[in-house]
Amino acid sequence: MTVQSISAQYFPEEPKAPVVKSTKGSSSKQAIETLGKVFDARGAYFVADYGKSQGNYIADVDGNLYLDVYAQIASIPLGYNNPALIEVAKSDKMIRAIVDRPALGNFPGNDLDEIVSDILKVAPKGQDKLWSGLSGADANELAFKATFFWYQAQKRGYHSDFSPEEVESVMHNQAPGAPELAILSFERAFHGRLFASGSTTCSKPIHKLDLPAFKWPKAQFPSYKYPLEDNVEANKKEDKRCLSIVSDLFKTWSVPIAGVLVEPIQSEGGDNHASAEFFQSLRDITLKHGALLIMDEVQTGVGATGVMWAHERFNLQPPPDLVTFSKKFQSAGYFYHDPEITPNLAYRQFNTWCGDPARMTLAGAIGKEIVKHDLTTRASEVGDYLYKKLEKLQEKYPKHLRDLRGKDRATFIAWSLENGAARNKFLSDMKEVGVNIGGCAEDSVRLRPTLVFEEKHADILIDAIEKVLSKY
């Protein structure tokens, strides 16, 4: 059987291989300097030419053409200049959403029901409602708001009035109106960089330093030993150890914990995996203590791990209460199913825009293409192919390819190097052989290609890795 190449269908003109002219080219350097006068551009790796980018290849202004397995920090879903999305971008619906941006909560357009329903077609199993936001951090904070509203409603009664003390004290940012409540998250987690989401983020100090934070608790997320098949018992013990920390925090934390926030795979924090059993037990703990379970699928969602939503592999009963999304969906928000997660009154979960219908329209189209071409299955196949090749490389270069992880998780693959300096050198050397690739945690490499990354691209990636490692 010949596997159909979706990327060839979308991108008949996709380059066959990277082109490296000069990764330290003067055009990028100069453009970054110019941009830096008006915009903080110190994080820029290069200046891209999106008009010349195509499928899995990103072009820069120096004529380089990189195979892109980072994809805008895990965000480009279907390749650069995908023709199906270009068609949507040119549609009347999109043009209206751009020029007549509604305040969706007050004046929804007559296409909003369709826009939301299109997104819900690919919602996690069990989720049938949506609230929309603007970024992953925003999505998480909106989910926190929903969680706190729900938690207080459980105590007060869903339809009960606020007390005069609550109404008065809240205007001074004081309890009982502004209660002392917490969201529990995990060490090494990343959930965004606003103030509440930042208080749940715990992957790198640079994300948080100098910013006031809510004093919310951090449990520990399992640190597994690899390869998994040789460390079953040790890893089971690790699950248990971490779960008991969560249970203890519920009993001992100085303020009540209203919700637990967790990534199905800790991504920015190092591609740290945990077992389905760990997540099932976490679900049980939240039920036992009357807290909600918020699954942060900002990076893992939308097909990246070979299923539409990574947590669906865990078979949680009942499903997570809120599932947040962003990145590959190019839109943001959360899914939920419990009607009581809708606050008891209008205007509690509210803001001017309540999302962006342009980005939501795109999300619906992305979901449709994923289903139409069964891209989750394709991502799994390509991931298996790639993983096997990486295992072989690992045997050859064990020092530079440690703790390979992401087996059976499509192309959501990572490994560690011996330290941060070695990792940074590797990322930089990969550019010299034509691959744009990203890191996570201090010493790891993460693969985050598009969903139209195929075996032919995997071959190029593997060759490039080998080319770099063979010189070390």
Closer Cβ to a second copy, 186 or 314, answer by number: 186
Alpha-carbon distance of 265 to 321, in angstroms, equals: 18
94 is an interface residue for a second copy by CB under 8 A: yes
- In sign, the C-alpha dihedral spanning 189, 275, 426, 304 is negative
205 is an interface residue for a second copy by CB under 8 A: yes
Interface with a second copy by CB under 8 A: which range of 39-47, 223-231, 316-324, 388-396? 39-47
Interface with a second copy by CB under 8 A: which range of 3-11, 192-200, 412-420, 444-452? 192-200
Q: Choose, from 149, 190, 325, 426, the residue flagged as catalytic.
A: 190
Beta strands 57-59 and 65-68, pairing class:
antiparallel
216 is an interface residue for a second copy by CB under 8 A: yes
Closer Cβ to a second copy, 173 or 470, answer by number: 173
Count of CA atoms in the C-beta half-sphere (13 A) of 362? 24
Closer Cβ to a second copy, 75 or 376, answer by number: 75
Closer Cβ to a second copy, 1 or 212, answer by number: 212
Do the Cβ atoms of 109 and 306 come closer than 8 Å?
A: no
Q: Choose, from 60, 68, 138, 296, the residue flagged as catalytic.
A: 296
Our CA angle for 428, 432, 437, nearest 5°, is 50
396 is an interface residue for a second copy by CB under 8 A: no
Alpha-carbon distance of 365 to 357, in angstroms, equals: 12
Alpha-carbon distance of 16 to 67, in angstroms, equals: 10
105 is an interface residue for a second copy by CB under 8 A: yes
Interface with a second copy by CB under 8 A: which range of 203-211, 300-308, 386-394, 463-471? 203-211
Q: Which residues, 151 to 180, sit near a second copy by CB under 8 A? A: 151-153, 162, 166-167, 170-174, 177-180
Closer Cβ to a second copy, 40 or 233, answer by number: 40
Residue 153 has phi, psi (to 5 degrees) of -65, -35
| Binder among 20, 187, 226, 469 for a second copy (CB under 8 A) | 187
Q: Is 115 helix (H, G, I), strand (E, B) or coil?
A: helix
Interface with a second copy by CB under 8 A: which range of 148-156, 227-235, 302-310, 401-409? 148-156
Beta bridge partners of 449: none
406: left (phi over 0), alpha (psi -120 to 50) or beta: left
> How many angstroms separate the Cα of 219 from the Cα of each of 242, 301, 471?
7, 23, 41
CB of 330 to a second copy, least distance (A): 6
| Binder among 5, 22, 81, 223 for a second copy (CB under 8 A) | 81
Alpha helix ranges (H) inside 201-336: 232-252, 276-289
91 is an interface residue for a second copy by CB under 8 A: no
Q: Does the annotation count 93 as an active-site position?
A: no
Beta strands 322-325 and 292-296, pairing class:
parallel
Q: Choose, from 279, 327, 328, 443, the residue flagged as catalytic.
A: 327
Binding mask 324-363 for a second copy (x = CB under 8 A): --xx--x-----------xx-xxxxxxxxx--x-xx--x-
Q: Does the annotation count 190 as an active-site position?
A: yes
CB of 94 to a second copy, least distance (A): 7
Q: Does the annotation count 388 as an active-site position?
A: no
Q: Is 347 exposed, middle or buried (0-12, 13-18, 19+ CB in 10 A)?
A: exposed
CB of 326 to a second copy, least distance (A): 8
Q: Does the annotation count 327 as an active-site position?
A: yes
Interface with a second copy by CB under 8 A: which range of 188-196, 243-251, 282-290, 396-404? 188-196
Amino acid residing at 468: V
Do the Cβ atoms of 449 and 68 come closer than 8 Å?
A: yes
User: How many Cβ atoms sit within 10 Å of the Cβ of residue 90?
Assistant: 9
What is the total residue count of the chain? Answer: 472
| Binder among 96, 236, 240, 402 for a second copy (CB under 8 A) | 96
Q: Show which residues are catalytic.
A: 190, 296, 327, 352
